Amino acid sequence: MKEIILCKYGEIILKGANRPEFEGALTRELKRRLAPYGRFSVRRAESTVYITPTDGDCDLDGAYETARCVFGFVGVTRAAECEKSMESILSVAREYLPPLMSFARTFRVDAKRSDKHFPKTSPEIAAEVGGAILSASPGLKVDLHHPDVMIRVEIRDRAAYVHAGQEKGAGGLPRGTSGRGLLLLSGGIDSPVAGYMMAKRGVEIEALHFESFPYTSERAREKVFTLAEQLCRYCSRIHIHVISLTKIQEELRRACSEEYFTLLLRRFMMKLAERCAKEYGCRALVTGESLGQVASQTMDALAVTDAATSIPVLRPLIGMDKEEIVEISRKIGTFDTSILPYEDCCTVFTPRHPKTRPTEEEILSEVAKIDFDALMDEAYATLYTETRRVSEQYL
């Protein structure tokens, strides 16, 4: 008997002729993510990826936690692999399962016989394995409707597999299969959630953060880098580009009407983000905007913001309320960092009465008061890049 990890496909199985492309991307990403945990054999068969340790130094716990965070899998489980014989299956059931069921009072056994040449039917396999478990753990009882533990026996192409159920995987599509997007990453709750949701759809995420030193602090910048590291639990690696908006904000305060300040700043952000996206091969921008959440996220305000860029702007949170966004933020582990009380550039020089229904003509009239192109070039010249990778502390 040896213990391995089984990872079950999600919507990849629906990809038809393009399925090999998605499978290849998923396997490459998985191998890259498993590398820190030792040497593993990674094999695909029957809509499942089999992760098998190749030596005794492999960290199976670390590999398992990593596999659960790889987009493309809907289910991940640790399983005992054995020969395709009832004698081997029953022996494994008696040895492998009891420690995994120490907390349980009831169980159920399901069997799946992909290899139809196996001499027993699925109900017969389940009944015999159930009997073996009862003999090894007489305090347990069978409950077919609401068991504490679901035991599964799978008879597959090369071997049989016994496990105590599976945990939910990350779902979605493999990293990079939907292109590359540039996430506008602030220090708030929303933007990390937006990055996670687009990464789940197969988008390889790069990030752009705007700072306004000395109005924003070093701690605010480090907070954003921490959020990026937490996202790397799902994204593997993120390049974070940082641009200073200090000169732009000071010039807007000097020359423009206060009520348009946030909208003009957002327009600069979108133009700078578009320039950064094109330089680094990103085909879309990703933002954490939610319709009506703040003054700059009304339908009219979003229209004049979008007019500043010629590439798609993806807003996965646009129809969500704050409670829904917070729930996802807690799930992916970014919430506690997001609520740390460090300022970001959007809170600098905030207007007392922001414009909520602007027109393009009004915005262009305000833009004419400043040297837009020169400010753009000066801000973009401040760009620098840091890279964050998945950290074990966030698994």
Per-residue pLDDT tens for 223-253? 999 999 999 999 989 999 999 999 999 999 9
pLDDT score recorded for residue 347? 65
State how far the Cα of 247 lies from the Cα of 370, in Å rounded to an integer.
12
Side chain identity, residue 258: E
One CATH from 3.40.50.620, 3.30.565.10, 3.90.1150.10, 3.30.540.10 for 180-394:
3.40.50.620
Please check whether residue 90 is in contact with residue 132, taking contact to mean a CB–CB distance below 8 angstroms.
yes
Q: CB neighbours (10 Å) of residue 281?
A: 11
Quote the tokens at residue 207.
């990030």
- Within the chain, what is the greatest distance between any pair of CA atoms? 84
State how far the Cα of 46 lies from the Cα of 154, in Å rounded to an integer.
12
pLDDT score recorded for residue 297? 86
Quickly state the pLDDT bin for 352 (edges 50, 70, 90).
Answer: confident
Exposed, middle or buried: residue 320 (CB in 10 Å: 0-12, 13-18, 19+)?
buried
Side chain identity, residue 372: F
Side chain identity, residue 95: E
Count of alpha carbons within 13 angstroms of residue 95, beta-carbon side: 13
Please check whether residue 133 is in contact with residue 163, taking contact to mean a CB–CB distance below 8 angstroms.
no
State how far the Cα of 94 lies from the Cα of 131, in Å rounded to an integer.
10
What is the pTM assigned to this prediction?
0.91
CA dihedral 20, 22, 23, 25 (to 10 degrees): 120
Per-domain residue ranges of the chain: 2-168, 180-394
pLDDT score recorded for residue 353? 77
Quote the tokens at residue 155.
């008879």
Give the CATH number of domain 2-168. Answer: 3.30.2130.30
Quickly state the pLDDT bin for 182 (edges 50, 70, 90).
Answer: very high
State how far the Cα of 61 lies from the Cα of 164, in Å rounded to an integer.
16
pLDDT, average across residues 142-146:
95
Look over the chain and give the mean of its residue pLDDT values, rounded to a whole number: 92
Residue that has been written with the tokens 């129809």 in this structure: 319
Handedness of CA 37, 40, 44, 50 (dihedral sign): negative
pLDDT score recorded for residue 392? 60
Residue 346 pLDDT exceeds 70: no
